[in-house]
Chain A
């Protein structure tokens, strides 16, 4: 069986970055037969044409339900089974759901060959989630920065403060009201727009 060399793996993911991270990890681990499907149109026929041993799909993807059709009878393709069919390894199933990835595996593929692939997916998915979180944080910090600069400008103009004094006023108000400095800055902008 060709799967004994390197199983053919299909990644179904609309996020090209996450798919790339996953693909790279799989290749590094020696899994060379990796194909990424990004387009959800005619998903099943593409999968049938590729005839993979393992299909990985993220849990945010509504097309998971499309894959469930593979379990219906009378298909002339090798019969895939869901990862969850084997309940003996509850911990790794839980870990994969937490990370947001699900796997479909062709019946007959040995369990010990699947485990390292799934473990790798879980860690890569978690790494991607962390990356995204950092990106979000940076983005919102940048947004805050812009809002604070505008609020400082308003305070400087209206109250004749220096930039440093305006910032100190914002910060002390935020501390007193137990709010984020960005929120105080936003309310200053809102108020000044209303008073225009």
Chain B
């Protein structure tokens, strides 16, 4: 056994590869002595990873990039040898907002362009009658949730900084905030969307896979300096996470996996709610409407666990689009270098990414195909942005 490792996580379903790696014994089989530490905020996870209280962490992919670039916080280079999840978030709206959107929609309720255009008409009407701007909750300034909400509404002409309020809310507060009308909608990971639906106070409007075919959500984050000193531990951890991710993807293991994740020290909600997310079969309305998607949360399938630098570039592009940073070739390279398929391949003996098909690496519903080598050109094609020049 190695020296004890401390790994931080936030109780969300996309931490499952990490949790199962430890609780199913895959880390122990690699000779690793891992203690998982449940945390209450992304700021805590980031800070404890940065100062060395954690050896690794379940981290928002954009936070790993922001930390490596020194954005919004102290600069600590982070590497991600393993991707803990692709997609997995959803946008949930209050019943009145759903009714307003449905009253304005032209076209398919599941088409994000149709809903975004309807939202822009709702926003315009509210402004006309002097109603308060709509408030949208998301989990962190550097989060996929923030960028997914912004990408979606901006495509319909809604300016996320001017036309609505976008506020950070800790995930455990999301559902209550929607219930008492502090927010009209939110974008968050599992299990919180399902909990809002079960409580009868929210409707899942979109799976984020409606907005982007593939979006890197959380990564296994490690300080670069530590990873360089401990390459064998990094490889062993990557293998354990990989075996866990493969285990989770087997439908016959789902019940056991959901039960393990439901433990109060882990995610701490009903196993049945967790299993809905893993199966991609979600109740989207309090009336019991079910929606299925093979792309709701990808843990291992379609090469989801291999870090893809194109994803890092896309997230960096969103930071630049919304004024969190300016575009520079050096920063773009730093961002891409956070995602380390080479470490993944070294650990697992793999050598290349899975074929992503015609949708490409990102597959956004609006805008041009993302070109990771020309972020400035890509961003120039969007009317709405807060680019720092």
Contacts and interface: CB of A to CB of B under 8 A. Distances in A.
Contact of B41 (A61, A84, A90): A61
A72 interface: yes
Given A84-B50, A97-B51, A69 B141 contact: yes
A76 B331 CA distance: 27
Contacts of A41: 182
A63 B170 contact: yes
Contacts of A74: 161, 323, 386
B74 interface: yes
B172 interface: yes
B47 A84 contact: yes
A68 B72 contact: yes
Interface in A33-57: 40-42, 44
A103 to B, nearest CB: 11
Contacts, number: 73
A1 interface: no
Contacts of B53: 97
Nearest to A59: B44
B324 A72 contact: yes
Nearest to A45: B167
Contacts of A119: none
A94 interface: yes
Contacts of B324: 72-73
Interface residues of A, number: 28
A82 interface: yes
Contacts of B43: 64-65, 67-68, 102
A85 B182 CA distance: 32
Given A59-B44, A74-B323, A69 B73 contact: no
Contacts of B139: 65
Given A62-B173, A64-B44, A84-B74, A90 B168 contact: no
A66 interface: yes
B41 A97 contact: no
A61 to B, nearest CB: 7
A14 to B, nearest CB: 12
B140 interface: yes
A87 interface: yes
Given A73-B323, A93-B51, A94-B51, A65 B140 contact: yes
Nearest to B47: A84
B62 to A, nearest CB: 12
A111 B220 CA distance: 34
Contacts of A93: 51
Contacts of B172: 62
B358 to A, nearest CB: 36
B73 A82 contact: yes
A79 B72 CA distance: 11
Interface in A136-193: none
A107 interface: no
Contacts of B167: 44, 66, 69
A65 B73 contact: no
B40 interface: yes
Contacts of B386: 74
29 contacts: A40-B173, A42-B182, A44-B167, A59-B44, A60-B40, A61-B40, A62-B41, A62-B172, A63-B170, A64-B43, A65-B42, A65-B139, A65-B168, A66-B167, A66-B170, A68-B42, A68-B43, A68-B140, A69-B141, A71-B141, A72-B324, A74-B161, A74-B386, A84-B51, A84-B73, A85-B73, A85-B74, A97-B51, A102-B47
Given A61-B41, A62-B173, A72-B324, 20 more contacts: A44-B167, A59-B40, A59-B44, A60-B40, A61-B40, A64-B40, A64-B41, A65-B42, A65-B139, A66-B167, A68-B43, A68-B140, A71-B73, A73-B324, A82-B73, A84-B50, A84-B74, A85-B74, A97-B51, A102-B43
